[in-house]
Structure 1
Amino acid sequence: MRDLFEEIHADLARHDPVERAKELSRRELPKRFYTEVAVAETDGGFAVTLDGRQVKTPARKPFLLPSRPLAEAAAAEWAAQESVINPGLMPLTRLANAAIDAVSQRFAEVADEIARYAGNDALCYRAEEPERLAERQRLTWDPLLEAASGLLGHRFRLAGGVLHVAQDPALTAAYRALVGTVSPLELAALHTVTTITGSAVLALLLARGVSTPDQIWAAAHVDEDWNAELWGEDAEASRIRAYKRQEFDAATLILRG
């Protein structure tokens, strides 16, 4: 099982979820070897068991989750595997593996990367035309930035087009301080939401319960939805979006419990 999962957790910062899925799809998948999947409470958390044996991470560490609902969701992924075990269909399991094996060892590095996103957040870059798109961005994103500013104690600077705008270093420092207080599992989930949406702001608001998951998801796709309304949906783009939504939902389970 180690080879199948190592691309997922070995370097969390480098792997796009869609590219991970493509890589996994090119590998020969192992056959399902177990019959019964269950959840067991242990001293360190909640374990998933396969025929009574606890699941381990690719690095052979105990696969433990902090709550029974999370462990049951991971167990459901294992139970859903049919003739083979396909990690591409197990986003929560992959994310937990990443947290246990990688993020726990590289916490500061991952937290620093998320904070850098906050300094170059997608919500700060606005279309100058067409006017209707600019207005949609303003109506959707301004309240979210206002909420994030309230959490951080600093305001975001906006830019028209794609020219870089530097944020106040105090803002990114405040963001880094906030994410530095979470668990490795929560940090892995924040990283996933940040990279999928392009926005550390959206990840923070999701974690703090300021907006619903559907509102966060819609805010992350304002531009994409605008283009789809104009030109129609692209089948490949829709497939990728659906896959990313599964990753997003797994991270949301962790962040929203």
Structure 2
Amino acid sequence: MGLPAGHHQVLHHAPDNPTQRNKDQLIRAAVKFLDTDTICYRVEEPETLVELQKNEWDPILEWAERRFGVEIGSSTSILGPSIPARTREVLASHLASYSTWALQGIEFVVAQLKSMLLTLGLLDLRLTVEQAVLLSRLEEEYQIQKWGNVEWAHDYELQELRARTAAGTLFVHLCSESTGVKHKLPQE
């Protein structure tokens, strides 16, 4: 079966942690993505896209707020929503439960999806890779439905993004599994 295409990109960055960042720095970098999280930025028009964003993104936003007991919110301002400090702290302490390796995988996925919240949904098995990728590309998909597109280019881009997202997510799960496994030696 093997890893999905794109796995080499994750693994390539992981072994040597080329940036030599420690756990705190990795967590801070991931939490910083909240400021520009795709699903927190909303359009004011056209009405059909406003509705689409509301219907598709609000459930994820509400899920994240319930799951972590925080406030996030969304905004149509170019500055985005102002994320409360407590929200950052709560999400940072959640991320602290992951290993340094897993955090590199998380950062990779967040960068693919341009969304911390979609990544959390993926890791929590609230979303599939296909759903997360589609939600991260809602606006592009809307434009394509409306105006059409260069078929092969779009399909290739979508497959690539899915493969990278799947690989990163799998990498995080594998890192998390291995840290949680304790080998017990049989007692004499």
Please indicate the TM-score interval, normalised by the length of the shorter structure: 0.7 to 0.9
Q: Distance in 2 between matches of 1:204 and 1:223?
A: 20
Give secondary structure in 1 for the equivalent of 2:2.
helix
1:190 corresponds to 2:119: no
Paired residue type of 1:110:
L
Q: Distance in 1 between matches of 2:126 and 2:159?
A: 24
Q: Which residue among 23, 32, 36 is the counterpart of 1:120? A: 36
Q: What is the match of residue 81 of structure 2?
A: 165
Once the two structures are superposed, residues 66-104 of structure 1 have per-residue CA deviations (whole angstroms, 9 ceiling, x without a partner) of: xxxxxx735xx8xxxxxxxxxxxx632331242221079
1:209 corresponds to 2:132: no
Q: Distance in 2 between matches of 1:164 and 1:125?
A: 6
Q: What is the match of residue 242 of structure 1?
A: 159
Give secondary structure in 1 for the equivalent of 2:126.
coil
Question: 8 Å contact 2:129–2:162 — kept in the other structure?
Answer: no
**1:255 shift after superposition:** 3.8
Give secondary structure in 1 for the equivalent of 2:16.
helix
1:148 corresponds to 2:77: no
Aligned pairs for 1:28-177 (under 5 A) are 73=2, 91-102=6-17, 105-106=20-21, 107-177=23-93
**1:232 shift after superposition:** 1.0
Residues matched between the structures, number:
172
Question: TM (normalized to structure 1)?
Answer: 0.60
Question: 8 Å contact 2:72–2:81 — kept in the other structure?
Answer: no
Question: 8 Å contact 2:6–2:167 — kept in the other structure?
Answer: yes
Give secondary structure in 2 for the equivalent of 1:119.
helix
Once the two structures are superposed, residues 175-209 of structure 1 have per-residue CA deviations (whole angstroms, 9 ceiling, x without a partner) of: 11111211233212211221111100000110011
Q: Distance in 1 between matches of 2:137 and 2:8?
A: 26
Q: Distance in 1 between matches of 2:166 and 2:122?
A: 11
Aligned CA-pair RMSD: 2.2
Distance change (3 Å), C-alpha of 1:116 and 1:126: same
Identical aligned pairs, as a percentage?
23
Once the two structures are superposed, residues 133-179 of structure 1 have per-residue CA deviations (whole angstroms, 9 ceiling, x without a partner) of: 11110011111011111222112122115233321011111111111
Q: Distance in 2 between matches of 1:130 and 1:256?
A: 39
Q: Distance in 2 between matches of 1:159 and 1:152?
A: 20
Question: TM (normalized to structure 2)?
Answer: 0.81
Distance change (3 Å), C-alpha of 1:115 and 1:105: same
Unaligned runs of 5+ in 1: 1-71, 78-89
Once the two structures are superposed, residues 208-240 of structure 1 have per-residue CA deviations (whole angstroms, 9 ceiling, x without a partner) of: 111222221221111110010111123545433
Q: Distance in 1 between matches of 2:129 and 2:153?
A: 23
Q: Distance in 2 between matches of 1:122 and 1:156?
A: 13
Give secondary structure in 2 for the equivalent of 1:129.
coil
Paired residue type of 2:143:
N
Q: Distance in 1 between matches of 2:114 and 2:9?
A: 20
Name the larger-Rg structure: 1
